[in-house]
């Protein structure tokens, strides 16, 4: 292996490590920003941006609780969900388009990792044998079946002009041709992805992460039996998935500031990423103040609409290219 190849490999490893650390450390802060924005708009002082980190620290000091009769699915779910979330943070181009995992940073691999995390958590909820767990798992799988195809089709519309489903290649192509962002295919894909990101992360109007009402909750119903470090891992992983998906939106439709293969641009890429994700998170927090949760039976209609937008994006990418 030549010196140049070794230096490039070290640079990509450092960029990927920095990306994972920034996402893992900043994910709870993003949740804190969203909660603080909602609190201010609702006339409350709020607990502060650092409150999610304080909650995680408190949970990490407690012992986990395992209900009687549960098996391997319940015990492994927090670790598997956290693991898939960290792999997503490593493979998606958030800070840099150079990664040692670039060959596997494929659209289908990313969607598969998202689906794996949801399925693992649903299996854990079913493993408890409780009514709430089964109800939440059923609802989560229903939403999963509607969300994942939309993500595939929407990003496929962006990949048509590149000729590759590699996310780094799509982001690089957008950097070289910024006018593609305002093309009909990109605008339709952005609308579709925004809806499915809201659904995938359990935000309003699909789900309300602040509720514990058994008739409406989805994510909370699946984690009711967890406590201590297990619950901390689940909540941390959920915030990482939210950060990664918002970062994916920013990378696909506003990739400016992302570093290439050089580490020299990484110090500028980190604040650019933080600002873009914070703006998207704050915007989502503002939207949640003014919208109400949909009835559960109306959620498939919303997600079907997003799938139609994704199909229109694919059609426009071929016919309006």
* pLDDT score at 4: 63
Between 276 and 68, the more confident residue is 276
Chain centre distance of CA 103? 21
* pLDDT score at 204: 83
Task: Tell me the average pLDDT across 38-49.
Answer: 92
> Residue 120 and residue 137: Cα distance in Å, rounded?
10
- Interval 210-269: pLDDT, tens: 766 666 678 888 998 999 999 999 999 999 999 999 999 999 999 988 887 667 788 899
* pLDDT score at 261: 67
Task: Tell me the average pLDDT across 104-131.
Answer: 90
Ordered alpha helix ranges (H), 177-265:
184-200, 219-222, 228-253
Task: Tell me the average pLDDT across 40-55.
Answer: 93
Per DSSP, the three-state class of 194 is helix
As given in the structure block, the two tokens for residue 131 are 């009514």
8 Å CB contact between 317 and 161: yes
8 Å CB contact between 124 and 73: yes
Q: In percent, how much of the chain has pLDDT > 70?
A: 96
* Lowest-pLDDT range of 190-199, 225-234, 240-249, 287-296: 287-296
Between 217 and 57, the more confident residue is 57
Establish how many alpha carbons lie within 13 A of residue 46's alpha carbon, considering only the half-sphere containing its beta carbon: 18
* pLDDT score at 319: 81
Residue 1 has pLDDT above 60, yes or no: no
8 Å CB contact between 312 and 157: no
Per DSSP, the three-state class of 106 is strand
- Interval 118-158: pLDDT, tens: 999 999 999 998 888 898 999 999 999 999 999 999 998 99
Write the DSSP assignment of 54-104 as a string of letters.
Answer: HHHHHHHTSPP---TT--HHHHHHHHHHHHHHHHHHHHS-SSBS--TTGGG
Residue 24 has pLDDT above 80, yes or no: yes
As given in the structure block, the two tokens for residue 94 are 């958030």
CA angle (90, 95, 98) in 5-degree steps: 70
Closest C-alpha among 115, 117, 171 to residue 148: 115
């Amino acid at each position: 292996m030549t010196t140049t190849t070794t230096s490039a490999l070290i640079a990509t490893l450092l960029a990927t490590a920095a990306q994972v650390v920034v996402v893992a450390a900043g994910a709870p802060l993003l949740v804190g920003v969203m909660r603080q924005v909602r609190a201010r708009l609702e006339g409350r002082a709020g607990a502060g941006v650092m409150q999610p980190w304080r909650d995680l620290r408190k949970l990490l000091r407690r012992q986990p609780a395992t209900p009687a009769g549960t098996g391997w699915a319940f015990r492994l779910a927090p670790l598997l969900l956290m693991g898939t979330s960290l792999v997503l943070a490593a493979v998606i181009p958030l800070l840099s388009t150079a990664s040692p995992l670039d060959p596997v940073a494929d659209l289908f691999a990313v969607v598969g990792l998202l689906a794996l995390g949801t399925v693992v958590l649903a299996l854990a909820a079913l493993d408890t044998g409780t009514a709430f767990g089964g109800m939440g798992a059923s609802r989560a799988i229903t939403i999963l079946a509607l969300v994942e195809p939309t993500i595939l089709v929407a990003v496929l519309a962006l990949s048509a002009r590149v000729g590759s489903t590699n996310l780094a290649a799509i982001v690089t192509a957008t950097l070289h041709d910024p006018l593609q962002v305002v093309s009909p295919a990109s605008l339709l894909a952005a609308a579709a992805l925004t809806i499915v990101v809201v659904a995938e992360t359990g935000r309003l109007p699909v789900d309300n992460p602040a509720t514990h009402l058994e008739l409406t909750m989805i994510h909370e119903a699946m984690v009711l039996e967890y406590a201590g470090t297990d619950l901390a891992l689940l909540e941390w992983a959920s915030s990482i998935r939210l950060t990664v998906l918002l970062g994916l939106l920013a990378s696909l439709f506003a990739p400016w500031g992302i570093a290439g293969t050089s580490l020299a641009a990484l110090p500028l890429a980190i604040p650019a990423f933080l600002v873009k994700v914070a703006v998207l998170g704050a915007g989502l927090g503002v939207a949640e103040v003014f919208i109400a949760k949909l009835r559960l039976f109306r959620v498939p209609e919303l997600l079907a609409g997003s799938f139609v937008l994704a199909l229109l994006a694919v059609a426009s990418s071929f016919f309006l290219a």
